[in-house]
Amino acid sequence: MDFNNTGLARTRKPAWGTRLAGLGLRIFLLGFLAMGSSLDAQALGSPTMLEFGEVVVGAGGGTITTDPLTGGIISTSNVFPTSALTTSSSITQATGTSGRAFTIMTTLTGNFTMTGSGGGTFTSSPVPINSENPTNVFTFPSNGIVTFHVAGTLSIPGGLTAGDYNGALPIFIRYNNNPRTSSGTVVIPIHIRLIAPLTLTNNADLDMGIVVPGVTPGTVTINPSTGVQTMTGGVVYASASGTPAQFAVTGAPSHSISITLGAGTVTLIGPAGTMTLTLSSSVASPTTLSAAGAANFGVGGVVGVAANQADGNYVGTLTITVAYP
């Protein structure tokens, strides 16, 4: 109780009532601020895989670059892609406040590591992140949703063990006008498959044998599988000494390969004229390497012999190419 100047008594309000009112005001204001922060929140969905496909890496290593929007290969340097795996960029969906600009960022400050299924590893730099927007800056539209793509360049050293190599690139987004407001981090999975290069060994040359021409044209054939020699038309004689060429291929186990017999024909040049040899293979193209990564095939053909073809040795060169499709 206290007294005013008139001497009348009055009641003082309890102190705790004032404190509670102030506390209630503080709680209300804090709740309002928290709600305002949540309205500015941003989030990332789960990214899809960044796929660099299947490649052969040349001696000394090389690089492969994919397009962030299409996922296709932009360029390679001493890296030779196959068609076995389709390349693709990583796709991520971001949500946030309409009209706000944000930048794609990574938590890494150095290289990331790609680890192979056989235990080998290599490192490559993730910076800069390569999206369809060269500055990696996007603005949320009216619906607050942006879908962006991430790709880039992978630097691969030479001499790595063949196998599947996997890595991870952590990313987040941050509002440009508020560096303290960032999304949570999500991880982009990265994959590339390295396969063994192809080797081609010539174990025997193609020999069409000894031929005696006649007064009319004819042909001599060497079967590429059996080596059996046959003749037609005016050819008087063909020895049984002819043999098909023999080749051995090594490469990635159970992988498809193509076999190309140059232009399909070879011009044989002799002392007084030429002959045309049309080539044939003992296996169809494409064919498949064994589980050990090997294949063997023969090359024969049919040569046209002109009437009274001039005597002599007729020589030419085969150009055989094997490749991964």
Above 90 in pLDDT, residue 220?
yes
Average pLDDT over residues 289-294: 97
Query: Cα separation of 228 and 223, whole Å?
Result: 5
**For the chain, how many helices (H) and strands (E)?**
1, 28
pLDDT band at 131 (very low <50, low <70, confident <90, very high): very high
pLDDT score, position 141: 97
- HSE-up of residue 110 (Cα within 13 Å, Cβ side): 2
Per-residue pLDDT tens digits for 134-159 = 899 999 999 999 999 999 999 999 99
Q: Map residue 22 onto helix, strand or coil.
A: helix
pLDDT score, position 41: 80
pLDDT score, position 125: 83
Query: Cα separation of 238 and 253, whole Å?
Result: 41
Above 50 in pLDDT, residue 217?
yes
Per-residue pLDDT tens digits for 58-97 = 999 999 999 999 999 999 999 999 999 999 999 999 999 9
φ and ψ at residue 58, rounded to 5 degrees = -70, 170
Give all domains of the chain, ordered by start, each with its CATH number. Answer: 43-194 (2.60.40), 199-323 (2.60.40)
pLDDT score, position 29: 39
Lowest mean pLDDT among 17-21, 96-100, 188-192, 284-288: 17-21
Above 90 in pLDDT, residue 160?
yes
Lowest mean pLDDT among 111-125, 133-147, 286-300: 111-125
